[in-house]
Amino acid sequence: MYTEVSRGAPDRVQANPNFKAKVRQTLQLLPDCVAEARGVWALAA
């Protein structure tokens, strides 16, 4: 997922060294995403 984010917004990734933490935070806040294991996300059923 980080690779795709880097491709889609390279300028923003360069400007934010903590972009991986922001991606995780965003996933945690989305009601349609659930963590199945450490580093593994899925769409909620």
Give me the residues paired with residue 35 across strands: 41
pLDDT value, residue 24? 94
pLDDT value, residue 45? 82
Whether the per-residue pLDDT at 43 is higher than 90: the answer is yes
Note the Cα 36 to chain centre separation in Å. 14
pLDDT value, residue 11? 95
Q: Which domain does 26 fall in, by range?
A: 2-43
Mean pLDDT over residues 12-35, rounded? 94
Mean pLDDT for the chain?
A: 93
Mean pLDDT over residues 20-37, rounded? 94
Please give the tally of structural domains in the chain: 1
Read off the pLDDT of residues 14-24 as tens digits, 9 standing for 90 and up.
Answer: 999 999 999 99
> Backbone dihedral region of 5: left (phi > 0), alpha (psi from -120 to 50 degrees) or beta?
alpha
CA separation for the pair 20, 3 (Å, rounded)? 10
